[in-house]
Chain A
Amino acid sequence: MSPNDSRDPEDRFLEAWKHWAQRPPRQSPAEAAAAVSRRLPLRQQRRSWWALAAAAAMTVTVALAVHWSIFVRRAAPPRPTINLQESAPMSKGEVLIWLDDETPLYMTFQPPENGPAPGNKS
């Protein structure tokens, strides 16, 4: 900036600011990258502890869930099963369903062509 500089003081300042701000940093980009990289593992390590703790908690949760589901399955009463294939042939309007090996369900149905059901006035 020469003494004969006739520019606006603001313009002169902005020019000076540009030169001042754009001076090269003391650390080169490669040095800065190395310095930053040296600091990264500390955070990663801290984060890995969290990850480890989270994984352990997840493992315990899954183990408990598996154990609980097995325990509940064992303790639960057996579900009724329907075994239509082993039913004996029945006459028309009769159904026999085996809920399990010892529990038969015997049902009869009135065919519709035998007239209206009792209590039906139509």
Chain B
Amino acid sequence: MRAQDGDAAAFSCLVERHWIPLVHFARSVVGDAEAEDCAQDGLVIAWSKLAALREPGAFRAWLLRTVARLAFRRARRSARYVSITEAADTQDPASAVGPETVDVEAVLSVLAPRQRAVMHLTVIESMSDSDISAALGIAAASVRSHRRRAREMLRRVLQPGSVPGVKK
């Protein structure tokens, strides 16, 4: 890969190719406001570590992992993740799913960053468990576990009246 030899123009081509899916992914993990900054920072980090990439064919998964690590750090720092109890006290995620509009960010706030990442790659990117495992650097069993917990959490949050303290 020419970009690995320090060819910035070749790297720019890679940025153009991967920009949109990276922003989509970052949006699900860190939210809309920070998504593009996160993706851009991840790409700059990727450039600096590109020489360490052993298999150029695995670039997509490697890039996703680089951005995911950064996104997890940002998500933890900005504490977008709130427990379901906190969510129930401070907002009503279920009410975010109205007949006309859905406040996706409000609902996602009850999921842990890794759960958001796994769900995004499953639902939106339609990736297999092994691909998600490679992209996030976690075991396939962990992928399934994160997804199961995320779905349980979403079901709890999205069912009207199922969460104690959630006002309807």
Contacts and interface: CB of A to CB of B under 8 A. Distances in A.
Interface in B105-128: 105, 107-108, 119-120, 123-124
Given A1-B99, A35-B40, A36-B47, A29 B20 contact: yes
A83 B24 CA distance: 82
A2 B159 CA distance: 18
A57 to B, nearest CB: 20
10 contacts: A1-B101, A1-B102, A12-B102, A16-B102, A17-B102, A20-B104, A22-B124, A27-B36, A35-B40, A43-B44
Given A13-B107, A17-B123, A36-B11, 17 more contacts: A10-B151, A13-B104, A17-B107, A18-B123, A20-B32, A25-B23, A27-B19, A27-B36, A29-B15, A29-B16, A32-B16, A32-B36, A33-B13, A36-B15, A36-B40, A41-B8, A43-B47
Interface of A: 1-3, 5, 9-10, 12-14, 16-18, 20-27, 29-30, 32-37, 39-41, 43-44, 47
